[in-house]
Structure formats: C-alpha cells, structure tokens
Amino acid sequence: MSIKNLIVGAGISGAVVARKIAEELGETVLVIDRKDHIAGNIYDYRDAKTGITIHKYGPHIFHTKIKEVWDFLSRFTEWHYFYLKPNAVIEGNSVTLPFNLTTLYEVFSPKMAERIEEKLISKYGYGVKVPILDLKNNDDEDLKFLADYVYEHVFKNYTMKQWGLKPEEIDPSVTARVPVFVSHDNRYFQDKYQGIPLNGYTKMVEKIFDHPNIKMKLNTDYKDINGDFERIIYTGAIDEFFGYKYGELPYRSLVFDVRTINKEYFQKAVVTNYPNEYDFTRITEHKYFLDEKSEKTVISIEYPQVFENGKNERYYPISNPDNQALYEKYKAEQPKNVYFIGRLGDYKYYNMDLAVERALNFFKEEIK
Ligand code: FAD
Ligand code: UDP
C-alpha cells in the first residue's frame, strides 16, 4: 500500500498534523524521526534508579490561553495542574521570579519597596506586565533605579549567557517573555490553562500518534527516505532541507549536566535561575513537576552553547532581521508538495501551545 503523507519529525508539531490527517481525512501517514524516540524536545522518561520523570531537553511546563489547543491535547492526557513559580539567585538570595511586587520586598528595605510599589501601580496599574526594556525608559528616579537594578541583576548577565548578546541586541519579544510584573501573583505564567501531562509528555505524544493510519519509523533521517509522497510535512530545520545552500540559520544550543543527588530535595523550586554567577543559567529539579516522591533527587544544570551543526542540538532560533531574511529566502523555494511547520520548520521561538496551534491551523487552512 502506498503511503500518501510523510511527516518528518515526531515532535508535538508532527504529532498533531499526523493525527488530524489520519483521523479526519482517513489517509495514511508515515512519520519518521532521526532520534531514537518520539516527542522531539518535549521528550521525558522515567529515571530507572529513582523513578523520577526527567525532562531530557529542559524544563517543560504547558501553559496556554487557547481553549482549542487545551481541548485538543486533553483528548490524549489528563493533567497534573501545575503553576511554575521559579526562583532566581540575586546577590546570594533566592528571590521570586519574574521580578514582581513580592520580589521588591525581598531585595529592598520595606520603606523603599513600598515607595516603588506605589509608583509602579500608579504609573502602570496593578496586574500590568512591563518589559524590562520599557521600564528602562523612565524619568522617575526610583523607577529608573528599579529598572537599572533589574536589568543588571536579572537580565543582563543571564541574557549574555543564554544568547551571547545583550538584552537590547536580541528581539524585544524574547526578554518581554519575562517582564517586571506589577502584581503579587508569583506565578511565572498567568494563562488560564496550565499543567504537566499526568503520565508525562512522551505518553501524551504516543497517544496522539496511536491511530491505525499512522506508521512510525524512528532512527530514520529524511535524507535516507525514498518514496513518492503526495505531501511532505517537514518539521526539521528548513536550511538543512535545502542543503544550507544560502548558509546556515543560527540557533542557540544547550548542554544539560544531569546529576542524581543523594538527598530528598536539592532546591526550593522546580527551577532556580542563576542570572549572575556561574556559566550555567538555571537548575531544574525534576521531581517537582509531577510531585514525585523519592529519597533521592535528579537535577539538570543547563549550560547555553553556540549551535554547531553535527555537534549539538538546535534549541532556540535566534530572532533578528538578518536571520528572518535568510529564512524567507529558503521559504520562497518551498516545493509545491512540501510544507514547513514547527519550531525548526518555521524558525520561530514557539512554546508548545503555539506549536500546536500552528499545526491545527496549518491542517485547517492548507490540508483539509
Ligand atoms: P521538535 O520538538 O524540535 O521536533 C522536531 C523533530 O524533528 C525532532 O524530533 C527531530 O529529531 C526531527 N527531525 C529534524 N530533522 C529531521 C530529519 N532530517 N529527519 C528526521 N527527523 C528529523 N514550551 C512550552 O510551552 N513550555 C516550556 O516550559 C518550554 N520549555 C522549553 C525549554 C527548552 C530548553 C526548550 C529548548 C524549549 C522549550 N519549550 C517550551 C518549547 C518546546 O520545546 C517547543 O515548542 C516544541 O518542542 C516544538 O515542537 P516541534 O515538534 O515543533 O519541534
Ligand atoms: N531572562 C533573563 N533572566 C532570567 C530569565 C529570563 O534575562 O532570569 C531573559 C533571557 O533573555 C531569556 C528570556 O528572558 O532568554 C526568556 O526567558 P524564558 O524563561 O522565557 O526562557 P526559556 O524558558 O524559553 O528558555
């Protein structure tokens, strides 16, 4: 039997499109991935020694405002309701992140914190998120002091480590992901729907793929595939698809130093950021995600790296006008039966929910 559709990449983007085509069009789909597992960057697994679920490619917390996305995924998983409340170590103290009204009282004297709190509320309003680069454009002396403090202690060095660039050199949408929040709400995200799949991300993705019209081949690279497919949906890197003929699209990569620690808990929160000290950016303690119990604990220490083709993985597209122009140059050559989606295919810093939304919309608008 000939297979109509080839999907390159078994991450969340590939999974959503595979399921929609299999289920709603009743067509056959072959999914390939060069990794030895499904789920792409959201892959998690049970550590044999401790029983703790490990997020292999960094901490993943699902959060969305989009009901359609939440409803779609909820067909394939139950949720462990989870609100990310990370810490950052600033001047030796563990404080609330994102920087908010609670953090003011953790780093400044009560008198000063109160003064700045009043000024923030009167200028921006309670509940408002102010990007750090906006806060820096301030005439008021106290707010200027706050902006400089947060810039120096939270953003500058973290961003230099993470991107190898200063905050003003990266796309403003990136640092705006972690604003100064004029609120006592200590959650990192305020989205209506938030959680971790109760049995892990890999199990959720496995269920999305679990359909008689879907065949899966792991350890298989696109370059080794022969066949006549009516449609190819490519969730790998677009520059690689075209043999890098116009040059490589840059990415940031990461290395995770995973350690088992012989005590029950290592830190107070699931994620602790280290904006200023050390070469790493953050430490994740995995047992917190699903509130798993063990006498031991497993942590991942996250070191940003330059992406080097063949040596490490692509994690973050680097958004700037030059890179976008290079992306567009490749995109303009998209063959008629090939479609690019996903974080690598679209070269976009998608969170999981936006990857799912993109895949659902792609199916509705270009396939159905
Ligand atoms: P991927 O997961 O990258 O899947 C692409 C797949 O294609 C891969 O499995 C790859 O092996 C395969 N592939 C590529 N080329 C080929 C080829 N030539 N042949 C065969 N297979 C190929 N999002 C959130 O919502 N919340 C979070 O807390 C969060 N945390 C994150 C933390 C980190 C460190 C990172 C890097 C990302 C985080 N994300 C988070 C984003 C999330 O990981 C992505 O939105 C999601 O994984 C994108 O899925 P995808 O299917 O588009 O891409
Ligand atoms: N950021 C920072 N300090 C922090 C946390 C974030 O400077 O303690 C900046 C940094 O530039 C980072 C961006 O905000 O890349 C987005 O952070 P987020 O936590 O969303 O990163 P992700 O989880 O996607 O790696």
Q: Where are the domains of the chain?
A: 5-77+198-249+314-367, 87-182
Distance (Å) from CA 351 to ligand 1 centroid: 9
Distance (Å) from CA 98 to ligand 2 centroid: 10
Which residues are bridge partners to 8 per DSSP? 32, 234
Q: Is the pLDDT of residue 111 over 70?
A: yes
Rounded average pLDDT over 60-67: 98
Q: How far apart are CA 108 and CA 65, in angstroms?
A: 34
Distance (Å) from CA 11 to ligand 2 centroid: 23
Rounded average pLDDT over 249-258: 98
Distance (Å) from CA 173 to ligand 2 centroid: 11
**Phi-psi region at 27: left, alpha or beta (left = phi > 0; alpha = psi -120 to 50):** beta
**Does the Cβ of 154 fall within 6 Å of ligand 2?**
yes
Lowest model confidence (mean pLDDT) among 1-10, 70-79, 115-124: 1-10
pLDDT averaged over the chain? 97
| Ligand 1 atom at minimal distance to the Cα of residue 241 | 18
Q: What is the pLDDT of residue 1?
A: 55
List the one residue out of 155, 189, 150 whose CA is nearest residue 59: 189
Distance (Å) from CA 44 to ligand 2 centroid: 22
Q: How far apart are CA 208 and CA 40, in angstroms?
A: 14
Per-residue pLDDT tens over the stretch 27-42: 999 999 999 999 999 9
Contacts of 82 (CB under 8 A, 6+ apart): 61, 194, 195, 196, 289
5-77+198-249+314-367 CATH choice from 2.102.10.10, 3.40.50.720, 3.10.450.50, 3.30.420.40: 3.40.50.720
Q: Any residues with Cβ below 6 Å from ligand 1, and which?
A: 8-14, 32-35, 40-42, 57-62, 221-222, 235-236, 254, 315, 342-344, 350-353, 355
Distance (Å) from CA 177 to ligand 2 centroid: 7
**Does the Cβ of 87 fall within 6 Å of ligand 2?**
no
3-state secondary structure 66-97: CHHHHHHHHCCCCEECCCCCCEEEECCEEEEC
Q: Is the pLDDT of residue 12 over 90?
A: yes
| Ligand 1 atom at minimal distance to the Cα of residue 222 | 19
List the one residue out of 314, 165, 235 whose CA is nearest residue 5: 235
**Does the Cβ of 96 fall within 6 Å of ligand 2?**
no
| Ligand 1 atom at minimal distance to the Cα of residue 12 | 51
Percentage of the chain exceeding pLDDT 70? 100
Interstrand relation of 79-80 and 193-197 (parallel, antiparallel or unpaired): antiparallel
Instruction: Give the residue, by CA position, lying nearest to ligand 1 atom 14.
Output: 236
Q: What is the pLDDT of residue 227?
A: 87
Per-residue confidence at 188, pLDDT binned at 50, 70, 90? very high
**Three-class SS of residue 42?**
helix
**Three-class SS of residue 53?**
strand
Q: What's at 294, amino acid-wise?
A: S
Q: What is the pLDDT of residue 255?
A: 98
Q: What is the pLDDT of residue 91?
A: 94
Interstrand relation of 214-217 and 29-32 (parallel, antiparallel or unpaired): parallel
| Ligand 1 atom at minimal distance to the Cα of residue 316 | 36
Q: What is the pLDDT of residue 140?
A: 95
Name the phi and psi angles at 32, rounded to 5: -120, 155
Paired tokens of 241 = 């698809």
Paired tokens of 251 = 């990415």
| Ligand 2 atom at minimal distance to the Cα of residue 275 | 8
